[in-house]
Amino acid sequence: MNKNGSILYTVLILTLITITSRSTNNMVLTTIPLYSQNILGFGSLDVGLVTAVSYTATLFANSFLNPHFESRLRRKVFILSNMLLVISLFFLSSANGLTIFILSALVGLLFGFIMPNIITSASLHPNRRTQERLLAIYAVSLSASLIIGPAIETYLLHYFNYGYVFLFFIPMSILATAISFLIPFPHSMAERHGGGTIRNNAGFIASIITITSYNVPFAAITTFLAIFASSQFGVSRDVAYSSFIYFFLTSLLTRGYMAVRPLRKIKNPLIFSVALTVLPLLFIPILRNYAEFLVLVAFLGIPHGSVFPISSVMIARGTEPAERNTANSYFLAYNNVLSIAVPVIFGYMAIFLGYGYSFSILTIPVVIVTVILFRKYGKNPRIFYQPETRVA
């Protein structure tokens, strides 16, 4: 296969596995809270807890298992996880107040083995420019999946309850399982395992700080956006869930632009992204109707589209290929920490403050971590500016 054919094959396989896996992943993460509240009668704190259980299991896989597995074992676990996910979706459709916690933990563990290996596969091309373009295409595929999944679920919820949604996503999970056999894994070569390899790496630390600026509010949005829309504006369950489509559509457009024109200088785009996170969150308590809510949600989708690929580029610029699996695993593990803590804290705040003011309070940590990032790494040229490299 020639060079261009090889790249096109990589893009095709990467796009397919990302869309199928992330569509199912997002469906599970957003539907378990809704199923828990509407079918099982959970309160806001319990909804946060069942969400935290899933992310805790993902954190365990990302922190203590995946970074320490050599390449051949990771491939076997990756394929097996996709197979087990198909079975888990079947049992989620009829979960009760106890089994929802068990199944939430199981699917969290499975996704902890699936998602890090996809992003690692996207970041191993030897040419830096092609590597960053593949990461951008991976990010575009993530956003596409986050439109496809909610669009399918919005349609399904017009006719079925939340339990049936899990069943209808089984074919997509089966397709992901078939594609998982084709995903390229790095040769075992000189892979470095364990946190010590990247603990003091500037690119890795900067990516952690950067992703915090968006994943703090995004963790709350994933769990409570549809619940807020339904309770605040009295819209039906399918209309409430459709708000995710507007959110992820602007995210997709943002990532599409970044795939066509990869960013070399990322400081100003990052500042712009933080501003587009803070301002909409501050306006949530004063929204008057569902239409205004959708406009605000669309604006929030822009930083969702930009911050993750910017963080991924920081890792790619700051680490060597042999460190990449460890860096990506711990990067996603940190995201899981946020996804564990934020829904529980947010759910507790919402009991006393309501959803609107709780969303606005999330601007405080966003501003704090952004200040820390630029004070510590704002003048680092390797992170914030990457000259184009050419390979003979």
- The one-digit pLDDT tens for each residue of the chain (392 residues) are 555 567 788 788 889 999 999 999 989 988 999 999 999 999 888 888 898 899 889 888 877 887 788 888 889 999 999 999 999 999 999 999 999 999 999 999 999 899 888 877 777 666 667 777 787 788 788 878 878 988 899 899 889 999 999 999 999 999 999 999 988 776 655 555 555 567 778 888 999 999 999 899 988 988 888 888 988 898 888 888 889 889 988 988 998 888 788 777 888 999 999 999 999 999 999 998 999 999 999 999 999 889 988 998 888 888 777 777 788 778 888 887 888 889 889 989 998 999 999 999 999 999 999 999 999 888 877 777 765 544 33
Q: What's residue 196's pLDDT?
A: 57
Question: Which distant-in-sequence residues (6+ apart) come within 8 Å of 80 by Cβ?
Answer: none
Q: Is the pTM of this model over 0.85?
A: no
The dihedral through the CA atoms of 114, 115, 121, 122 has a sign that is positive
Q: Is residue 389 in a domain?
A: no
Residue 124: the pLDDT is: 66
Give the sign of the dihedral formed by CA 289, CA 277, CA 252, CA 355.
negative
Provide DSSP, 314-342.
Answer: HHHHHS-GGGHHHHHHHHHHHHHHHHHHH
Domain-embedded: residue 391: no
Residue 260 included in any domain: yes
Q: Distance (Å, rounded) from C-alpha 383 to C-alpha 378?
A: 9
C-alpha 355/C-alpha 227 separation (Å) is 9
6 belongs to a structural domain: no
Taking residue 51's Cβ as centre, other Cβ atoms within 10 Å add up to 28
For residue 229, being part of any structural domain is answered with yes
Per the domain annotation, does 4 fall within a domain? Answer: no
The DSSP-derived string for 1-60 is --HHHHHHHHHHHHHHHHHHHHHHHHHHHHHHHHHHHHTS---HHHHHHHHHHHHHHHHH
What's 77's domain CATH number? 1.20.1250.20
The answer for residues whose C-beta is within 8 angstroms of residue 76's C-beta and 6 or more apart is none
For the chain, report the end-to-end CA distance as a whole number of angstroms.
Answer: 19
What contacts 24+ positions apart, CB below 8 Å, involve 283-291?
A: 284/355, 284/356, 284/359, 284/360, 285/354, 285/356, 285/357, 285/359, 285/360, 286/356, 287/232, 287/356, 289/233, 290/229, 290/233, 290/235, 290/239
Residue 135 confidence (pLDDT): 77
Q: Give me the residues paired with residue 385 across strands.
A: 265
Closest CA to 240 of 15, 25, 96, 37: 37
Per-residue pLDDT, 109:
94
CB 260 within 8 A of CB 383: no
The pLDDT of residue 257 is 87
Distance CA 240, CA 68 (A): 41
Residue 330 belongs to some domain of the structure: yes
Q: How many domains does the chain have?
A: 1
For 50, left (φ over 0), alpha (ψ -120 to 50), or beta?
Answer: alpha
d(CA 148, CA 319): 33
Q: Is 390 a domain residue?
A: no
**Can you give the residue range of the structural domain that contains 87?**
14-182+192-384
